[in-house]
Amino acid sequence: MRIKPIFSVVPVVLAVALAGCGGGSSSGDKATKAAVGKPNSPEVKKLIEQTFGPNDHATSGNISGVVDITVKGLPRYKEPIQVSVVGPFSQSGSSPAEAMFDVSLGLRGGILGGDVYFKGDKALIGLGSTAYQVPDPIAIPFRKPLQNTGNALTAVLGVFHIAPQRWAKNPRIVGNERVAGIDTIHGTAELDTKAVFLDLAALAKRLTSLKITNITGLPRAVDRQARQALQRSVKSASGDVYTGAKDHVLRKAKFNLLLEPSAKDRKILGGFTSIKVVGNLDVSDVGSPQTIKVPANRGSYSALQVSLDALAEAVR
């Protein structure tokens, strides 16, 4: 079984979301070195802006992310869940960013997968060799962040309501490290879980518009009561990022999140006793030309909905 739209969002949200923990700078920057270990220093705030704000170097690359989720207390999730997302993104001049993500979800012994495309002014979902165009009323809100032509990587993350620059809490610089042969600045931070769960709620709304939540069992909405219960359940939430020292483009991110709700909050959140989430994201081929190809074979959106309904029934 293969499908895509919803799963591509989840990995990016969980894996990259925590990327707002740091930034990048020249390894020879004495002011930055002096700021190592100091939370909320002017230097680390500048690095976050350089990484997720306007950046002419963040025009293209490849994203590869894996998120492992361990749920306790719910029989239907007795096996670990793994989400992966892989694919290129690219932006040219003032045109909106484009991207293609191959997403897979390992769930209860099976694997679901598919593709999601952002090409030109269209958003499409790919199943097998067929692409299905998402109607404008649904696609336009998804595509809106792609109009951010100052940083293609930030724009792509924004599609999935991932805004690391808002999530970093007490960020600080750790120092320089080599990542895949690139000199990077290692940043770390706690997470502002209130901001994270607000973005999660916005994402759930978008996924519900695509009927993806029916397949994955994700909540159709994350209301205020649920967000507050999630916040109270957080035992630890931290992330690390590694940003190019010269170009300030994100190269790697990792995070750990642990939730253990009280008996009272378990009733609000569906009954789980704990959830552990570990994510890793790599960004490679930064600046290399990328081609976003959409299958020539096209199907109707109504036909896609029939396929999604059948898949949701099979998963149940």
β-strand partners of 173 = 36, 187
Higher pLDDT, 193 or 209: 193
DSSP 12: I
Tokens of 84: 């992966």
Mean of pLDDT values over 195-217? 72
| Least confident window among 38-47, 106-115, 181-190, 268-277 | 106-115
Higher pLDDT, 170 or 314: 170
Tokens of 146: 């792609």
Q: How many CA atoms lie within 13 A of 279 on its CB side?
A: 29
pLDDT grade for 247, boundaries at 50, 70 and 90:
very high
Between CA 179 and CA 192 the distance in angstroms is 26
Mean of pLDDT values over 136-143? 87
Taken in order of first residue, the domains within the chain and their CATH numbers are 5-315 (2.50.20.20)
Q: How many residues does the chain have?
A: 316
Mean of pLDDT values over 288-313? 85
* Residue 244 contacts residue 42 (beta carbons within 8 Å): no
For residue 164, the model assigns a pLDDT of 77
Within its chain, how far is the Cα of 67 from the centroid? 10
Between CA 25 and CA 190 the distance in angstroms is 20
Burial (CB count within 10 angstroms: exposed 0-12, middle 13-18, buried 19+), residue 129: exposed
Residue with tokens 């599609």: 159
Q: Interior CA angle at 135 toward 305 and 148, to 5°?
A: 125
